[in-house]
Structure 1
Amino acid sequence: MNKQRLLLFVPLAIFVLLGVLFWRGLSLDPNEMPSALLNKPVPVFELPVLPAPENPQGLVSANQDMLKGKVSLLNVWATWCTTCRQEHEFLNTLKAQGILIYGINYKDNAEDAQRWLAELHNPYVFSVVDEEGRLGLNLGVFGAPETYVIDKKGVIRYKHIGDVNQNVWTKVLDPIIKELQTQ
């Protein structure tokens, strides 16, 4: 009889355990997910460049070595991403301020991406076409938009999940970039 009474408490114990796990999960900030590539070089890649009028050299393909030399941002974006549309105007503002931004057009249609940049203007030095998402996978991309701060040596120094806006720029990204530029 005692075993039967104890079995009555099993559902209650499971419910309490699940409640604690859910409460803990709700207290986590999804933007605080660390990148496994932090302080490591941008993964090796060779991808086609999205044709754009702002591509004066007529680059056909690009690789990770092209991100070296200056502190820059590497922005993962797509036309299917509504948050990317929200951040796009601010990226154009950063470009006008002289911030170098490279793009990864992630799991997208290249023709749609070209129309997007023609309509909304192109904040990118160049944007590679990651149609299959392999570079995104190697970077540990959860979804678009994501932005990485890249140092002069091509090393990832920070990963931001979500849109880049004035608040994120002022409080997080700009101080990191300024510090890296002095090194």
Structure 2
Amino acid sequence: MAKISPVMAIPLVVFASFVGLALVGMGRDDPESLPSAREGAGAPPVVLTDFPGKASFDDATLRDGEVKLVNYWASWCGPCRAEHPSLEALAAEGLPIYGVNYKDQLRNAESFLAELGDPYAAIGQDASGRMALDWGLYGVPETYVIDGAGKIVLRFAGPITARVLESTIRPALEKAATAE
């Protein structure tokens, strides 16, 4: 019987590990969701620089008694462009949406809003990405449903499509409204 040398066994062990991780990942309830340690906790501090010509927001804004969204976006983000009509629709319904412009050039961000519209009740810039780190951001777009007390009810990573709006965002907004 032929013996396998330890050096030859390494690729087999690595392959078996990948197969095991894939099987564990496939067993998750929602393969599109990413875990968030922030859900159920208070929103982290708002530390932003002003977005010239736009209203800004702070920690007190997130705890003003109203349900709201905090949306991280950037002009260079293709999925941000794709989700923009959904944000515009929510804003037209009267939902306050607070925008965090993430690691973007101001001129590009201004052009993005001029072209697509501005659904935000207020906007700030996170040019360094520091606030995003505190919030646990994976990437843009990313949206947080915040209840009136400033607690994160849902963190959604990815673009808000019509399907996501109905299946995920609206139920979270309802949950946030009843939490008050």
User: If the TM-score is normalised by the length of the shorter chain, which range does it land in?
Assistant: 0.7 to 0.9
Q: Which of these residues, 51, 60, 65, is aligned with residue 60 of structure 2? A: 65
Gaps of 5+ in 1: none
**Offset from partner CA, 1:62-114 (integer Å, 9 cap, x none):** 32211222001111100110000000122111111111111110111112111
Change (3 A) 1:5 1:87: same
1:47 matched to 2:45? The reply is: no
* Counterpart check, 1:10 vs 2:9: yes
CA distance in 1 between partners of 2:36 and 2:70 (Å): 14
TM-score where L is the length of structure 2: 0.86
Residue 115 (structure 1) shift? 1.4
Quote how far apart the aligned CAs of 1:25 are. Answer: 6.6
Q: Give the aligned residue type for 2:135.
A: L
Letter in 2 for 1:7: S
RMSD (Å) for aligned C-alpha atoms: 2.3
From the CA coordinates, give the structure whose radius of gyration is larger.
1
1:126 aligns with 2:125: no
1:19 to 1:137, Cα distance in 2 relative to 1, 3 A: closer
Please state whether the residue corresponding to 1:172 is helix, strand or coil: helix
Identical counterparts, % of pairs = 34
How many residue pairs match? The answer is 175
Counterpart contact for 1:50–1:114, Cα < 8 Å: no
Distance 1:41 1:91 in 2: 23
CA contact (8 A) 1:39 1:156 kept: yes
Structure 2's unaligned 5+ residue stretches are none
TM-score w.r.t. length of structure 1: 0.85
